[in-house]
Amino acid sequence: MIWNETAECMDREQMRKLQGERLKNVVDRVYYNCEPYRKRMQEAGVMPGDIQTIDDIVKLPFTSKKDLRDYYPFGLLSSPMSEIVRVHASSGTTGKPIVVGYTRNDLNVWKEVGARCLTAFGLGKNDVVQISYGYGLFTGGLGAHGAAETIGGTVIPMSAGNTEKQLLMMHDLGVKALACTPSYALYLAESMEKSEFPRDEFHLKVGIFGAEPWTEQMRQEIEHKMGIKAYDIYGLTEIMGPGVGHECEFQCGTHLCEDHFFPEIIDPETGIPVAPGEKGELVFTTLTKEGIPMIRFRTRDLTHLIYDKCECGRTSVRMAKILGRSDDMLIIRGVNVFPSQLESVICETEEFEPHFFITVDRVNNTDTFEIQVEVKEQYYTDDISGMLNLQKKLAHKIQSVVGIQPIIRLVEPRSLERSQGKAKRVLDKRVFK
């Protein structure tokens, strides 16, 4: 099933032509309506007339999260405030949040791309969709909500938290699809196993999971525990929210809605686009956004793009699973470590639950690297030598993947805190020193 065949199956030449026309429009919009953008283009010596095709995009300067902070709250607005009908904000871990404004047309585009995602997950008007992303300033809740209503599904606006009620609604209302973060899905899966309801009384078939990077191993874990197909929905507040891209039934990469969000991959060091298919940092330009358009926004997500036509019939470019964020990357004793690499190793190792917590510190000028990880019930014993062997086994496995050996602390099953939103898996104490 395809929601918008014209857009999703467009031939590449035609798509590039459309992207070029839309790029011209958005560049005009920011140049004539937004002073910081105009100034930056002038500094780079580029005028709106220099942008004629999508290839000209490389002439434009980048934007970043820092710009949204520096021009907080509405400095990058490119429409009059009277046209803004909704505001969202990202949960910044440090300092001020990032605020984004949407015009009515922006919200319509958001619903359109969200509908493409849910349709690709096999959902339609006969399906009950439970939205367990947080509602509010976070884009997850209302974003998924708008998408589910647009396809005509029956929406249960649960928001996150209150696990017992989540399960009660899921069970009693015949929920077919659950939308939440993958880490919350894992928590709900465990709660489902322990609940009074037999698993075969649930109608759950589809997971709409996103808002944090997750690995293939985590997907298999959730699919197995819940008995569902778990799909990745991709999005980021700065660009739109959930719906920037989605997987299809073949789960072979994330189709990007490239008629609205133009992707590039650059070398994060030099800013120069890499050769097609090569890995690098993902950059987005919003081609149709009116409220706060983003021109060449550096996501810090590391991935690569796949331009081959997909088996599902869509021609839209696909993004490989995100390897990590260049700003999530930990540098420990000079070595680059991504939490997603650790997640893969832990999920692949039979004796462990997919719950862990990384602590990095600096003691006597040396970085310390510790991972707390839950041992599965059936492997958790009082036998010290058995536990020591388990510890060694994981430490070696991790060293072979990331290059340095962590200190492993084994903890009892269900003893680490479960997340109801985005998982918090890292404490880097060095930033406080």
The residues of the shown chain that bind Zn ion, judged by CB under 5 A, are 248, 310, 312, 314
Q: Give the shortest CB-145-to-Zn ion separation in angstroms.
A: 25
**Distance separating alpha carbons of residues 82 and 223, to the nearest angstrom:** 45
Closest by CA to 254, choosing from 231, 223, 278, is: 231
Report which DSSP code applies to 72: T
The one-letter amino acid at 328 = D
Q: Tokens at residue 232, please?
A: 């990745």
Contact 409, 370 (CB under 8 A): yes
| Torsional class of 119: left (φ above 0), alpha (ψ -120 to 50), beta (otherwise) | alpha
The smaller minimum CB distance to Zn ion, of residues 249 and 370, is found at: 249
The smaller minimum CB distance to Zn ion, of residues 8 and 290, is found at: 8
Q: Give the shortest CB-251-to-Zn ion separation in angstroms.
A: 8
Helix or strand holding residue 117 (H, E):
helix 104-120
**Distance separating alpha carbons of residues 272 and 44, to the nearest angstrom:** 15
The smaller minimum CB distance to Zn ion, of residues 172 and 308, is found at: 308
Q: Give the shortest CB-9-to-Zn ion separation in angstroms.
A: 10
Q: Tokens at residue 362, please?
A: 């600096």
CA angle 47/50/53 to nearest 5° reads: 135
Residues, the chain: 433
- Mapped onto helix, strand or coil, the DSSP state of residue 321 is coil
The one-letter amino acid at 181 = T
The smaller minimum CB distance to Zn ion, of residues 225 and 314, is found at: 314
Q: Give the shortest CB-209-to-Zn ion separation in angstroms.
A: 17
The smaller minimum CB distance to Zn ion, of residues 240 and 248, is found at: 248
Query: E strands of 82-197, at which residues?
Result: 84-90, 98-103, 128-131, 154-157, 177-180
The smaller minimum CB distance to Zn ion, of residues 296 and 321, is found at: 321
Q: Give the shortest CB-321-to-Zn ion separation in angstroms.
A: 14
The smaller minimum CB distance to Zn ion, of residues 197 and 250, is found at: 250
Contact 229, 207 (CB under 8 A): yes
Of the CA atoms within 13 Å of residue 315, those in its CB half-sphere come to: 13
The smaller minimum CB distance to Zn ion, of residues 15 and 98, is found at: 15
Q: Give the shortest CB-207-to-Zn ion separation in angstroms.
A: 17
What is each CA distance from 258 to 80, 105, 150, 212, in whole angstroms?
Answer: 26, 17, 20, 21
Q: Give the shortest CB-131-to-Zn ion separation in angstroms.
A: 24
The smaller minimum CB distance to Zn ion, of residues 121 and 133, is found at: 121
Phi, psi of 166 (to 5 degrees): -55, -50
Contact 358, 427 (CB under 8 A): yes
Q: Give the shortest CB-255-to-Zn ion separation in angstroms.
A: 6
Q: Give the shortest CB-140-to-Zn ion separation in angstroms.
A: 23
